[in-house]
């Protein structure tokens, strides 16, 4: 239990404390989520941090085909909120995404073996998700 708590960011710990036990049980913090949360601590001012965050996000999404499919569905429906939900599932916090503009470009035509590329730019914070074959 101590190791698990030490690997959480402050925002994740607060979120875990204010959620109900049912929600907390449904949201298990995986090592990939912890790695993304640790790499994505300051998206607005730290250029090197953005690069590390992008690398961890891409690795985490690539390892989870359900996330790739969810991003493809978000692109098809034009719903940035659905893409935001995937990014939250991957380990970003509400604070990280509060003022972020999310742009989704799907060039995969819903192919099963799609590759996801993420770019993060600052001021205003923009997260561009590109899905390719």
Contact 108, 83 (CB under 8 A): no
Q: Quick one: what percent of the chain has pLDDT higher than 90?
A: 32
Which pLDDT score is estimated for 27? Answer: 59
Low-confidence ranges of the chain (pLDDT < 50): 1-25
Which pLDDT score is estimated for 19? Answer: 41
Residues contacting 125, CB < 8 A, separation 6+ = 43, 44, 99, 100, 101
CA dist 22 and 36 (Å) reads 24
Q: pTM for the full model?
A: 0.73
Q: Quick one: what percent of the chain has pLDDT higher than 70?
A: 79
The full set of domain ranges for the chain reads 2-132
56-79 residue pLDDT tens? 999 999 999 999 999 999 998 989
């Amino acid at each position: 239990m101590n190791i698990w708590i030490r690997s959480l960011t402050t925002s994740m710990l607060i979120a875990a404390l204010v959620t109900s036990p049912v929600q907390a049980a449904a949201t298990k913090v995986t090592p990939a989520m912890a790695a993304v949360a640790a790499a994505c601590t300051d998206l607005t001012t730290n250029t090197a941090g953005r690069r590390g965050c992008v690398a961890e996000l891409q690795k985490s999404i690539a390892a989870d085909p359900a996330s790739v499919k969810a991003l493809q569905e978000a692109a098809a429906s034009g719903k940035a909120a659905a893409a935001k939900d995937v990014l939250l599932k991957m380990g970003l916090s509400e604070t990280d995404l509060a003022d972020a503009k999310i742009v989704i470009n799907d060039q995969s035509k819903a192919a099963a073996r799609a590759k996801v590329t993420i770019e993060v730019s600052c001021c205003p914070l923009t997260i561009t998700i590109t899905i390719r074959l």
